[in-house]
Amino acid sequence: MKGVVGSDSSFSGGVAVVLVVLVIDMDTIEVSNLNRQFLFRQSHVGQSKAKVARDAVLKFRPQMSITAHHANVKDPKFNVEFFKQFNVVLNGLDNLDARRHVNRLCLAADVPLVESGTTGFLGQVTVHVKGKTECYECQPKPAPKTYPVCTITSTPSKFVHCIVWAKDLLFAKLFGDRNQENDLNVRSSDAASSSDHAEDVFVRRKDEDIDPYGRRIYDHVFGYNIEVASSNEETWKNRNRPKPIYSADVMPENLTEQNGNVAKNCVVDTSSVSAMASLGLKNPQDTWTLLESSRIFLEALKLFFAKREKEIGNLSFDKDDQLAVEFVTAAANIRAASFGISLHSLFEAKGIAGNIVHAVATTNAIIAGLIVIEAIKVLLKDTDKYRMTYCLEHITKKMLLMPVEPYEPNKSCYVCSETPLSLEINTSRSKLRDFVEKIVKAKLGINFPLIMHGSNLLYEVGDDLDEVEVANYAANLEKVLSQLPSPVTNGTMLTVEDLQQELTCNINIKHREEFDEEKEPDGMLLSGWTQAPPAKDDKQSMNDKQSIGNGGDSSNALQTEPADAVKDGEMEEISEPSGKKRKLSEGSKASILDATDGTRNHKEVEKLDDDDDDDVVMFDDLDSMTNKKKRLQ
Amino acid sequence: MDGEELTEQETALYDRQIRVWGADAQRRLSKSHILVCGMKGTVAEFCKNIVLAGVGSLTLMDDRVVTEEAWSANFLIPPDENVYGGKTIAEVCCDSLKDFNPMVRVSVEKGDLSSLDGEFYDKFDVVVVSCCSVTTKKLINEKCRKLSKRVAFYTVDCRDSCGEIFVDLQNHKYSKQKIEETIECQLRYPSFEEAISVPWRALPRKASKLYFALRVLEQFEEAEGRSPGEISIADLPAVLKLKKELCEANALNASHVTDSLLERLIIGTREFTPVCAVVGGILGQEVIKAISCKGEPLKNFFFFDIMDGKGVVEDVSSPKKESK
């Protein structure tokens, strides 16, 4: 919960209405929330947001009925029947997946949805009513940013690439699940890495002291691997070769003398264990040198083994894990130094690695007020007055708050208009599994699909399936489309459903023999559906630390840190009105979402995580609504 | 907060906003002192925002006793007589605000701001006034301008489902981002008196109607010796008459200031909480810009009206000075 609703949504005494509110939020309160989520206090850190918010609101509006659910809105118990209870749904979510999910449920339940988002000084509120306005998915939203594997493993050019390497490859390899596939030793020209050899290198040997182990790892990833990569002529023809870095060159002295004692047996609260503290580097805003980064790297590694050995093998990166952030920053910095990329401070690195969305109290307060205003219009069924309102950072046409009439539903939106899509695919070569993974789940966002060809069930997911069915479906997944029990060939119409979202999607299959390996690596082409462009990144150089305020994009003027190119979640929501068909013409601005697409050629590295912070706040109205005095006159 | 570096506590608490405006701006905020006079819902929202932002101190002035109207739109006042009984609005709000951020010094000052001297004003970097007469606004603004140090001056008022903010930053130097570079800029602001003296004809034809309507109401309340908002539907004929006179004096067509708008503002004297949140948020942002000297502040009036949903900036400056 962003602290967006709550006090900002309570009604003034003049309105004779009994409100029943239900809040859903799966998150607990963190210190970094407190700068804006004002219903929470320091003493609430660790507690459920939904519950504390409810208690706080009841203090100044004791007559309200508020139910708090400490739960994930995607939980199946929040089904269409559940949503039908409400007169309006207000979203304060910060990830695309949950928003799409709620959008579909609201459409199925025919409940108006007020959506919103903020990032720094930008914000927006939109209203979605089935049949009357666009649904949330009528306009494409950018997918989270991903990077080609080879950029991460071999040819980084931006600091963010180094972060991804340090976090998803090195950290995962050293401290995460050993059995997980890891591209750490993959080189672009050598897809087949000898995984056994890789295993040896990264695992600490039985009697190996921590210092030599640390240096060995250091030398392997920053020295040896770089030398090997550097030797490939083709890769470096048009690029600057990276420089291998060896610990002996950077830190000739014996580190145990430098770093001071770390008593292995002393019981320390793991949350306070810090390499920076050990080395006396106090300011997270300082940019470390290569030497400092190297020291932190070794010290952090040492501290993990000395103080948190039990966790090794199970750790996943958490931006609130100080030691993990220190390690990743250090590793990314050393790699950056190798590739001639600027080093960054811990503060900056943490923002990138943790996909931190910058946020202030004021924008959230403005958006909260606007959400309530729209909610009231919905409750009053004041259809003509519904607006999409944009909170701008810079005055445009004399406005800081710009309302725009909602657009009519997009006729080709497969979510709300049920227009059939077209899929070009090689039906003799592609398997059902490919279809499910790459189209149904990845593109359509249907995670629990039911796939039918006419009246024949090709595939479904569910708890109530018997063994025979499960076996059948598993077998179907491995069959090519034309070999399915109910063959899927050119001209076939497939129906894909999500029972929870009550979404039905029809797909016309067109057989095609050949696909371009570069442009269509999946061997499939879905049309009648607009692929959302990746989050804007490429124009902003991570190499220099100047503030980057491109007029139209969501990074803002007052920021001194480099624009965080990998923030998704919120960033993708802040789209300025694009000049599409609408009811009235207001001033329109070009969309900030450029379709910069040069990164789809290669196998994609895993996506960066969202900051999962799901919540939905809804108003429920009782019969007394009919007695309500009109407030806006 | 002494010394140049932000403390570990500050860095942890303010992490998300430091990512917006930088550590330097955060440091400046922590050294700034804000004075607020007249606390209704919008000002309560503003105070909440500025305390969360981490200013050095916030001083509250409002000696009025808590009434039902007060707590109905001011979320800092719990509707519990056991809590607010016997206290002034400022006192109750002070207790609530301290909770939001223990690092900010929140205190109450009793008395009449307009009677205090320059030495008092000199303690502050920002003065925000609300719920006061046009004469008082002018007076306080002048006191701010007399000091050698720059004291930023704001007025903020919400009636019914509309809100107005006035900004006077005198001579304000600031930096702003343009693509990849930082540009140093400067703005010159007229005083409140200068601004409202600008002939109505000099304003753009499409200037916000709220500007005119609020000036009419201001003048009416002043002439009748009313406190701000002390007005009812019975006054409508007199207000419309005054409107006609003012329009004539300004050589403006009377229909330029719509009767229905005036009527709306007269009937709805109470604040509407979502508007308080919006206007209090805008004001908060403006004050942060003024203190940090980063980002272009609005010049010099801001209007919000639920009816059209627009948040509009009007530059009401003397026609002789071209401010760029």
Residue A60: pLDDT band with limits 50, 70, 90: confident
Option in B25, B41, B79 nearest A558 (CB): B25
* Residues B250 and B168 both lie in one domain: no
Q: Which of A119, A128, A45, A145 is nearest to A90 (CA)?
A: A128
Helix and strand element counts for chain A (H, E): 18, 14
Q: At what angle do helices B259-267 and B236-249 cross, to 10 degrees?
A: 140
Considering only CB atoms, which chain B residues are within 8 Å of A395? 296, 298, 313
Name the domain boundary from B252, B267, B282. Answer: B267
Q: Cβ distance B30 to B1 under 8 Å?
A: yes
Helix (H, G, I), strand (E, B) or coil at A110: coil
The residue assigned the tokens 């016997």 is B86
- Residue A432 Cα, gap to closest chain B Cα (Å): 44
Higher pLDDT, A95 or A595: A95
- Residue B134 Cα, gap to closest chain A Cα (Å): 25
Burial A421-438 (b: 16+ CB within 10 A, else e): bebbbbbeebbbebbbeb
B47-B50-B51-B54 Cα dihedral, nearest 10 degrees = -170
Considering only CB atoms, which chain A residues are within 8 Å of B96? none
- Percentage of residues in chain A with pLDDT exceeding 70? 75
- Percentage of residues in chain B with pLDDT exceeding 70? 97
Best of A360, A382, A392, A554 to mutate (most B CBs within 10 Å, chain B)? A360
Q: Which residue in chain A has the smallest CA separation from B179?
A: A550
pTM for this model (two decimals): 0.82
For residue A533, the model assigns a pLDDT of 58
A11 CB neighbour count, 10 Å cutoff: 21
Helix (H, G, I), strand (E, B) or coil at A481: helix
With 0-12 / 13-18 / 19 or more C-beta atoms within 10 angstroms meaning exposed / middle / buried, residue A237 is exposed
* Residues B112 and B16 both lie in one domain: yes
Residue A202: pLDDT band with limits 50, 70, 90: confident
Helix and strand element counts for chain B (H, E): 13, 10
For residue A140, the model assigns a pLDDT of 83
- Residue B12 Cα, gap to closest chain A Cα (Å): 6
* Residues B26 and B167 both lie in one domain: yes
B22/A200 Cα distance (integer angstroms): 44
Burial A495-523 (b: 16+ CB within 10 A, else e): bbbbbbbebbbbbbbbbbeebeeeeeebb
Which residues face A558 on adjacent strands? none
The residue assigned the tokens 């090709």 is A458
Q: Which contacts qualify for A418-422: CB closer than 8 Å, 24 or more apart?
A: A418/A504, A418/A505, A418/A506, A419/A528, A420/A493, A420/A506, A420/A507, A420/A508, A420/A528, A421/A505, A421/A506, A421/A507, A421/A508, A421/A526, A421/A527, A421/A528, A421/A529, A422/A507, A422/A508, A422/A510, A422/A526, A422/A527, A422/A528
- Residue A392 Cα, gap to closest chain B Cα (Å): 10
Helix (H, G, I), strand (E, B) or coil at B153: strand
* Residues B129 and B170 both lie in one domain: yes
- Residue A425 Cα, gap to closest chain B Cα (Å): 43
B160/B73 Cα distance (integer angstroms): 11
Question: Is the Cβ pair B52, A632 closer than 8 Å?
Answer: no
Residue B224: pLDDT band with limits 50, 70, 90: very high
Verify whether residue A150 is a known catalytic residue: yes
Over residues A158-178, mean pLDDT? 94
Considering only CB atoms, which chain A residues are within 8 Å of B314? 398
Helix (H, G, I), strand (E, B) or coil at A364: helix
Answer whether residue B3 is part of any domain: no
Catalytic residue among A150, A391, A416, A505: A150
For residue B23, the model assigns a pLDDT of 92
SS (H, E, C) A49-105: HHHHHHHHHHHHCCCCEEEEECCCCCCCCCCHHHHCCCCEEEECCCCHHHHHHHHHH
Say how many residues make up chain B. 324
Give residues with Cβ within 8 angstroms of B226, minimum separation 6. Answer: B220
Considering only CB atoms, which chain B residues are within 8 Å of A120? 19-20
* Residues B57 and B93 both lie in one domain: yes
B275/A578 Cα distance (integer angstroms): 27
B78/A370 Cα distance (integer angstroms): 23
Answer whether residue B2 is part of any domain: no
Residue A620 is given by DSSP the state: E
Q: Which residue in chain A has the smallest CA separation from B78?
A: A60
Answer whether residue B97 is part of any domain: yes
Structure tokens at B120: 């008092």
Over residues A499-508, mean pLDDT? 87
Q: Which residue in chain B has the smallest CA separation from A348?
A: B19
- Give tens-digit pLDDT for B157-211: 999 999 999 999 999 999 998 888 999 999 999 999 999 999 999 998 889 999 9
Question: Is the Cβ pair A363, B285 closer than 8 Å?
Answer: yes
Question: Is the Cβ pair A11, B273 closer than 8 Å?
Answer: yes
Q: CB pairs below 8 Å between A and B: how many?
A: 212
For residue A553, the model assigns a pLDDT of 27
Helix (H, G, I), strand (E, B) or coil at B44: helix
For residue A186, the model assigns a pLDDT of 56
How far from chain centre, in Å, is Cα B24? 25
Q: At what angle do helices B209-223 and B134-146 cross, to 10 degrees?
A: 100
Q: Which residue in chain B has the smallest CA separation from A391?
A: B311
Answer whether residue B143 is part of any domain: yes
Q: Are strands B33-37 and B126-129 parallel, antiparallel or unpaired?
A: parallel
- Give tens-digit pLDDT for B80-115: 889 898 899 999 999 999 999 999 999 999 999 989
- Give tens-digit pLDDT for A412-436: 898 998 788 999 999 999 999 999 9
Best of B16, B69, B175, B261 to mutate (most A CBs within 10 Å, chain A)? B16
Q: Are strands B57-61 and A493-498 parallel, antiparallel or unpaired?
A: unpaired
**Domains contained in chain B, number:** 2
Best of B209, B273, B316 to mutate (most A CBs within 10 Å, chain A)? B273
Give residues with Cβ within 8 angstroms of B45, minimum separation 6. Answer: A365, B75, B276, B277, B279, B280, B281, B284
* Residues B26 and B95 both lie in one domain: yes
The residue assigned the tokens 């801001």 is B302
Q: Are strands B310-314 and A399-404 parallel, antiparallel or unpaired?
A: antiparallel
For residue B123, the model assigns a pLDDT of 96
Average pLDDT in chain A? 78
Considering only CB atoms, which chain B residues are within 8 Å of A14? 72, 270
Option in A121, A361, A550 nearest B53 (CB): A361
Residue A575 is given by DSSP the state: -
Number of alpha carbons in the 13 Å side-chain half-sphere of residue A549:
23
CATH of the domain at B312: 3.40.50.720
Phi, psi of A530 (to 5 degrees): -90, 125
For residue A442, the model assigns a pLDDT of 87
Q: Cβ distance B294 to A557 under 8 Å?
A: yes
The residue assigned the tokens 């969501």 is A554
ipTM attached to this prediction: 0.96
Helix (H, G, I), strand (E, B) or coil at A632: coil
* Residues B14 and B95 both lie in one domain: yes
Q: Are strands A449-453 and A456-460 parallel, antiparallel or unpaired?
A: antiparallel
Element of type H or E holding A124 = strand A122-128
Structure tokens at B210: 């709220």
Question: Is the Cβ pair A60, B79 closer than 8 Å?
Answer: yes
Name the domain boundary from B267, B296, B313. Answer: B267
* Residues B282 and B136 both lie in one domain: yes
* Sheet with strand A456-460: strands edge to edge: A456-460, A449-453, A493-498, A503-511, A421-425, A524-527
B3/A250 Cα distance (integer angstroms): 34
Number of alpha carbons in the 13 Å side-chain half-sphere of residue A90:
31
Residue B309 has pLDDT above 60, yes or no: yes
Element of type H or E holding A116 = strand A113-119
Answer whether residue B257 is part of any domain: yes
Option in A32, A389, A399 nearest B12 (CB): A32
* Residues B208 and B278 both lie in one domain: no
Q: Cβ distance A337 to A250 under 8 Å?
A: no
Option in A60, A120, A633 nearest B20 (CB): A120
- Give tens-digit pLDDT for A74-113: 998 999 999 999 999 999 998 998 999 999 999 999 999 9
N-terminal to C-terminal alpha carbon distance within chain B:
37
- Percentage of residues in chain B with pLDDT exceeding 90? 82
Residue B319 has pLDDT above 90, yes or no: no
Q: Which residue in chain B has the smallest CA separation from A367?
A: B278
For residue A67, the model assigns a pLDDT of 95
Question: Is the Cβ pair A13, B312 closer than 8 Å?
Answer: no
Considering only CB atoms, which chain B residues are within 8 Å of A370? 274, 278
Number of alpha carbons in the 13 Å side-chain half-sphere of residue B87:
21
* Residues B96 and B137 both lie in one domain: yes
B152/B191 Cα distance (integer angstroms): 11
Burial B152-183 (b: 16+ CB within 10 A, else e): bbbbbbbbbbbbbbbbbbbebebbbbeeeeee
Structure tokens at B300: 């010099």
Considering only CB atoms, which chain A residues are within 8 Å of B205? none
Residue A519 has pLDDT above 60, yes or no: yes
Q: Which residue range is the domain that position B219 belongs to?
A: 198-267
Element of type H or E holding A109 = helix A96-109
* Residues B125 and B48 both lie in one domain: yes
Give residues with Cβ within 8 angstroms of A520, minimum separation 6. Answer: none
Q: Cβ distance A445 to A100 under 8 Å?
A: yes
Question: Is the Cβ pair A546, B180 closer than 8 Å?
Answer: yes
Considering only CB atoms, which chain B residues are within 8 Å of A7? 75
Question: Is the Cβ pair A403, B100 closer than 8 Å?
Answer: no
Answer whether residue B1 is part of any domain: no
Answer whether residue B189 is part of any domain: yes
Question: Is the Cβ pair A398, B271 closer than 8 Å?
Answer: no
Structure tokens at A344: 């960054």
The residue assigned the tokens 């390899």 is A173
Residue A269: pLDDT band with limits 50, 70, 90: low
* Residues B113 and B238 both lie in one domain: no
Q: Which residue in chain A has the smallest CA separation from B274?
A: A369
Q: Which residue in chain B has the smallest CA separation from A125?
A: B309
Best of A4, A9, A11, A12 to mutate (most B CBs within 10 Å, chain B)? A12
